[in-house]
Structure 1
Amino acid sequence: MGTYLRTWREAVTPEQAGLPAGTRRRTPGLRRAELATLAGISVEYLTRLEQGRDRNPSAQVLGALADALGLSLRDRMVLRRLVKEADGGDPLVCGAAPPLSRTPRATVRAVLDHLEPAPAVVLNWIGDVLAHTTGYARLFGPVGVLDAEHPNLLRHLFTDVRARDAFPDWDREADNLVAQLRHDVPLRDPYAAELAEELMVTAGAEFADRFADLATAPRRVGGQRVEHPEAGPLRLLHETLALPDDGQRIVVHLPADEATAAALDRLNGRHPGALRAVGRAG
């Protein structure tokens, strides 16, 4: 882990990090003091990390270093894996918690069938996509939400570059999903902790700052704007139906105006009127 950090520090030029080049530089890349300042940590601590004398940096520190070095998502994942290997495990996974729900009940799937052609999805408490309608796949599939083997809304929003284009109100979406992770999970849940630790590294300050903010409460209802690559700009309303015994929720998206209703009908290959506008998005 220390070698990896030092190699990257020496590979990043001052110009790439937004610093003046200066003169009389005896080493390639960034000085330790420069990287430490950019990451908001002490030079002494960075030295201990690079020398292998500290093998358990927090996820926040790793995210800050990755931000300062401009690491790609793949390189951030490598850094995270190296820290786990050095520490011998995951420091954030703690205590016993109820099993994370991965499969919706048959009756919940039947509810989804009755919601067609509306875009609807079943999520567990950390935002994993467990089941969805075909209307949901046609709406969010083209922007990458369902591309992963085990899709997760938070992971997509913070690590897929397409999410920035798909959601014009990206900051608002990010605030809400992180607030849900913060407030809706079981106490000391290891699955939420593991996802949070991953995103602190892969997404850096964008996620870590939101996760540290306890004041933001999740929204159960509200509006959402989507820039769809085929249907164009859409305005949606969403309603959340909680399934507390299962640790799951159903989120239903409905058109907020007639233009969106018509666009969703076209995506679903249906005649106009299959989905009706229900109000104005906030």
Structure 2
Amino acid sequence: MSDHRSEQQAQRRELGAFLRSRRERITPDQVGLPLSARRRTPGLRREELALLAGISATWYTYLEQGRDIRASDQVLGALATALRLDPQERGHLFRLAGQPLVDAPGAPEPLAPEAAAVPLLLQPHPAYVIGGTYDVLSHNQAADDLFPHLIGTEDRPPNFLRWVFLEPAARDVLVDWEPEARGLLARLRTLAGRHPGEPRYTRLIDELTAASPEVRSWWPRYDVQVRHGGRKRLRRPERGVVEYAYTAFHLAERPDQTLVVYAEV
């Protein structure tokens, strides 16, 4: 057996061991799966992880067993999201699989300073600017009060899709959560269709699919919808349910970026 083939086999075994170690550290309750008294192995079962990543359980088993199969960067990205890998672990996964890390997080979507200032000028009306993937690129204090826990990190801005599907407070704030969430996902489908294969969309879709059972159920339905104005019922602390009218304005230079302004009805 050639040295090259031996190295490839060793790398496949290392890939399988790495996947297994990361699968075993995730508990079912972390991904919304019911606990079972009959569960004998730590972490997720192979079938459960395959379901979260949207791939065949048999195919995933072959990958973990170190068989001679090749995973695409889309499959690796879905596995990395389902396994909740950090950037270093994600890079390690791609290297073990022999794939370049083409789906690494990029720089935040740029927003012109003039557009960023508009929500601040509209205070006390809640207002924000969102990008194509629903990153909140600029917002005022009134919007912050209206949508609690809509926060970002140093390297990632707040995102409305993550807030609606992954933040528990959203289901209390949005009185009509399900139709609002379905419409939001349909609008993401429309925008993603204009940017096929673009990493910032595939990353977000992979993340939401792995973490939200509603997204896993609704995304395959291919519902589409354009961004628009309308009305929302929002639950406010000490005030109860308040109805708002909101209007969406697309920025002339960046049509995927939208200014949204709210007013009480």
Root-mean-square deviation (CA, aligned residues, Å) is: 3.9
C-alpha deviation, 1:35, in angstroms? 4.6
Tell me the secondary structure at the aligned position of residue 254 of structure 1.
Answer: strand
Instruction: For structure 1, list consecutive stretches of 5 or more residues without a partner in the other structure.
Output: 67-75, 94-98, 257-282
Q: Provide the TM-score with structure 2 as the length reference.
A: 0.67
What's the offset of the Cα at 1:179?
2.0
Q: Which amino acid aligns with 1:220?
A: H
Distance 2:42 2:244 in 1: 47
The reply on whether 1:195 has 2:200 as its aligned counterpart is no
Q: Give the conservation status (yes or no) of the 8 Å contact 1:239–1:251.
A: yes
Alpha-carbon distance change, 20 to 222 in structure 1, aligned in 2, over 3 angstroms: same
Cα deviation, residue 249, structure 1: 0.8
Aligned residue runs from structure 1 range 178-257, under 5 A: 178-185=185-192, 186-188=194-196, 189-201=198-210, 203-246=211-254, 247-256=256-265
The separation in 1 between residues aligned to 2:259 and 2:49, in whole angstroms, is: 44
Deviations 1:23-73, CA, capped at 9 Å, x for gaps: xx9x5469968758976865532422432446747379749x95xxxxxxx
1:2 corresponds to: 19
Structure 2 SS opposite 1:78 = coil
Identity of aligned residues (%): 27
1:227–1:233 Cα contact (<8 Å) kept: yes
Q: How does 1:39-188 map to 2 (within 5 A)?
A: 44-53=58-67, 56=71, 58=75, 62=79, 76-78=83-85, 82=89, 84-88=91-95, 89-90=100-101, 101-106=109-114, 108-140=115-147, 143-146=148-151, 148-149=153-154, 150-185=157-192, 186-188=194-196
The residue matched to 1:45 in structure 2 has which SS?
helix
Moved more, 40-49 or 110-119: 40-49
Number of residue equivalences: 230
Give the Cα separation in 1 of the matches to 2:243 and 2:235.
9
Following superposition, the deviation at residue 136 of structure 1 comes to 1.6
Deviations, residues 119-146 of structure 1 (Å, cap 9, x unaligned): 1111111111111223222322xx2113
Q: Which amino acid aligns with 2:179?
A: R
Q: 2:227 touches 2:248 (CA, 8 Å); kept in 1? A: no
Is the 8 Å Cα contact of residues 6 and 50 (structure 1) preserved in structure 2? no
Secondary structure of 1:184's match?
helix
Match of 2:12 in 1: none
Contact 2:136 2:158 in 1 (8 A): yes
Q: Which residue of 1 aligns with 2:6?
A: none
- 1:104–1:131 Cα contact (<8 Å) kept: no
In structure 2, the gaps of 5 or more residues are: 1-17
